Copies of this chain bind each other. A is one copy, B any other.
Amino acid sequence: MLLNVVFSHIDHFGFLENGTFKQRYLLNDQHWHKEGGPILFYTGNEGDITWFCNNTGFMWDAAEELGALLVFAEHRYYGESMPFGEESYSNAKYLNYLTSEQALADFAVLIKALKKTLPGAQKSSVIAIGGSYGGMLAAWLRMKYPSAVVGALAASAPIWQFIVPCGEFYKVVTHDFTISGTNCSSNIRMSWAAIDRVSATGEGLQWLSQEFGLCNPLKTPDEVYGFKAWLQETWVNLAMVDYPYEANFLQPLPAWPVKVVCKNLNFNTGVSDKQLLNGISQAVRVYYNYTGDAVCLNTSQTATGNLGFLGWFYQSCTEMVMPMCTDGVADMFEPQPWNFQAFSDECYNQFGVRPREDWAEIVYGGRNISAHSNIIFSNGNLDPWMSGGVTRSLSESLVAIMIDGGAHHLDLRYNSEFDPESVIKTRALEVRYFKQWIKQAATTQ
């Protein structure tokens, strides 16, 4: 893998700020048939690009089959691609260029530069590939810059999360737990009130902290809110990475981790609060201590440090406004309505900016995207993010693929002997579309 940097404009959409920054990208040509061999271009999302590279084995397998060059482009403000170096996150002025539009422009400029400077790449068809937010970027790159890429694979890309009903996401999370073990989601649903009751006393807080082995014991009932938020995020993450084999994406985990978690939560209703919470604590350890190395559980982090949470929060606070809510009935969480104003105020306090509720729908077209072409939207039915995904084909060339038994962009991972039939078929179909787009481009250019 070659590590490279390209100089990109800090501001593509204004000319007063004339600075450039070093955008990192990775390049591998071991399988590349030069002079016409295609380019598979990973549209980096909110994290370190080497980590995405290591978790996107599908591209390596596909490169071999297609004789393709591999490029993994890092998203500005993540990993090492910092427009203002270590100061990039220090104030609102420096953060102002962290938007999906700027990132897409970076990708389009990089593709142009590669075609210009890389011997043999001039006539290569480029295919955008990404997962999650990276999948949204892959789809949007094809939508906004179709001259740069002949098509896109948008894996587990919730491009409609801005406009679907706010409860859908947590319904899918709940469903995963419901089907993964007897009483599993209903015991989690009951755990919130149990936590409230137990934590009402100082003794209870102490018991809870010990039971969960918290690195920072809960000291006041006020801190229980954060503790519950941490648990909620844990369940979400588990649903996202419910892969059919041992894997280390957000955390090192066993095969089918939600099933393993649910084994600790299969008792009947009627147990005591402490019994219930003992089950919960065993369950979360599946996620936080599968290796057995954790000395204590840290509630301030729920996943790998390779993701840039602060950057993503800024993006949510500006254009990536994804309304989320729970009602405790259709889902297993405490009822929490979506409150745009409160969210906006939180954003203003944290970053000095306010989200624009309608912008993502206007700029990326909302449901009305049928004028575009050559995009595969793949989604796993276990993945909470499928709630905002395109799960039905919109035309012959805007194709939806549902992966039965698939979690978050399972299709992008290296193939495995434990892969369900569905994902094997999905990957083959994806490569078939890639070939079709390349062929199509060769005849129209």
Residue numbers of A with Cβ under 8 A of B are: 9, 12-18, 92-93, 95-97, 99, 101-102, 105, 108-109, 112, 144-148, 318-319, 352-356, 358-359, 362-363, 365-366, 368-374, 444-445
Contact = CB atoms under 8 A, between A and B. Distances in A.
Given A18-B354, A108-B362, A372 B146 contact: yes
Contacts of A18: 353-354
Contact of A99 (B13, B93, B445): B13
A324 to B, nearest CB: 20
Contacts of A145: 362-363, 365
A146 B371 contact: yes
A319 B318 CA distance: 26
A358 B13 contact: no
A402 B229 CA distance: 64
25 contacts: A9-B356, A12-B359, A13-B14, A13-B99, A13-B101, A14-B14, A14-B97, A15-B318, A15-B353, A15-B355, A15-B356, A16-B93, A16-B96, A18-B353, A18-B354, A105-B362, A105-B363, A144-B144, A145-B363, A147-B365, A147-B368, A147-B369, A368-B445, A371-B372, A371-B373
A371 B147 contact: yes
A13 B16 contact: no
A112 B147 contact: no
A366 B147 contact: yes
A109 B372 CA distance: 20
Contacts of A319: 15
B92 A16 contact: yes
Contacts of A144: 144
Contacts of A359: 12
- What are the 5 closest A-B residue pairs judged by CB atoms, nearest first? A147-B365, A146-B371, A147-B368, A15-B353, A16-B96
Contacts of A445: 368
Given A16-B96, A16-B353, A147-B366, 17 more contacts: A12-B363, A13-B99, A14-B14, A14-B96, A14-B97, A15-B96, A15-B318, A16-B92, A16-B93, A144-B144, A145-B362, A145-B363, A146-B369, A146-B371, A147-B369, A371-B373, A371-B374
A123 to B, nearest CB: 12
A358 B112 contact: yes
A332 B239 CA distance: 72
A13 B15 contact: no
A146 B108 contact: no
A371 B359 CA distance: 24
Nearest to A367: B147
Contacts of A356: 9, 15
A375 to B, nearest CB: 11
Contacts of A146: 365, 368-369, 371-372
Nearest to A347: B15
Nearest to A445: B368
Nearest to A374: B371
A102 B13 contact: yes
Contacts of A372: 146, 371
Nearest to A144: B144
Contacts of A363: 12, 105, 108, 145
Contacts of A318: 15
Nearest to A109: B362
A365 B16 CA distance: 24
A373 B95 CA distance: 36
Contacts of A105: 362-363
Contacts of A444: 370
Contacts of A93: 16
